[in-house]
Amino acid sequence: MAWFRKERKPRVPRRERLEIPPDAWEKCEACGHTDIREKFARNLNVCPECDYHRRIRAVEYVNILLDENWEETEEDLKSADPLGFPEYSARLKKAQTNAGDTDAILTATGAVGGLPVNLGVMDFAFMGGSMGSVVGEKIARAGQRSLERKQPFLIVSASGGARMQEGVLSLMQMAKASAILSQLAERRIPYVSILTNPTTGGVSASYAMLGDAILAEPGAVIGFAGPRVIKQTLGQDLPEGFQTAEFLVEHGMLDAVVHRRDLKATVGQLLRHMTGKPAAALTAP
């Protein structure tokens, strides 16, 4: 009586296999910890295992530091090729396409905890955050806006130094940016400099180190020349941790090393202390 016997069918698992796309995972450059990209993003791109501060884009720093409804300024300024440097025009177009920015700095107006400020953020993704004529011009215009409105000025630096393709024109931006900062100092308008990894070359030799308060992210490499060049010049071994934010704060070159999640609160507290005015008073026109 075969129809009374229950045939055993092979069991098929009901749960479908979860397919995770390969680009959903990211790996920490410092410790090798691998995790989903969303977890890194929720942690402001700081490794949850070793606390390594990974590089982020300029617009991400703007969103971290400023309140909502900030506005970008001078977004149409683009670098030219004044010296006719070989393949420079092509490299600029490629950088603009890949980075999605017009140059290596983003400037904006907004507020930090209700305090109106002007902000410039360098983007290492655009030709290594190199400082050319547009970078200097944007800083000068943002600084001038701070002068006219009597608002604090912030710069977040991330740079490999001056842009060699513009020669002396890029070096002139050091003096140009420093001049506007000296005017802010004369009028006692606060300027806060925030250094990220890396901050080197002509940027570190000018506006990055001229802040009334100089902050840095943990582990940021800060210096002018690289350690190999310095070692060859001095002819001796360098101390452990040389050119890191922690080493520099111990030797009085920085005011504080601040975790990325605490940047906005720290900057807001600094600005209120520097101006001596409550947030409500500074938001008034």
Q: How far is CA 60 from CA 38, 189, 192, 243, 260, in A?
A: 15, 25, 18, 25, 11
Which CATH number does the domain 56-274 belong to among 3.90.226.10, 3.20.20.70, 3.60.15.10, 3.40.50.150?
3.90.226.10
pTM, 2 dp: 0.88
Per-residue pLDDT tens listing for the chain (285 residues):
555 565 666 665 655 555 667 678 899 999 999 998 899 999 999 999 999 999 999 999 999 999 999 999 999 999 999 999 999 999 999 999 999 899 999 999 999 999 999 999 999 999 999 999 999 999 999 999 999 999 999 999 999 999 999 999 999 999 999 999 999 999 999 999 999 999 999 999 999 999 999 999 999 999 998 888 888 888 888 888 899 999 999 999 999 999 999 999 999 999 999 988 665 544 443
Residue boundaries of the structural domains of the chain: 56-274
Tell me phi and psi for residue 22, to 5 degrees.
-60, -35
* Contact (Cβ atoms closer than 8 angstroms) between residue 131 and residue 155: no
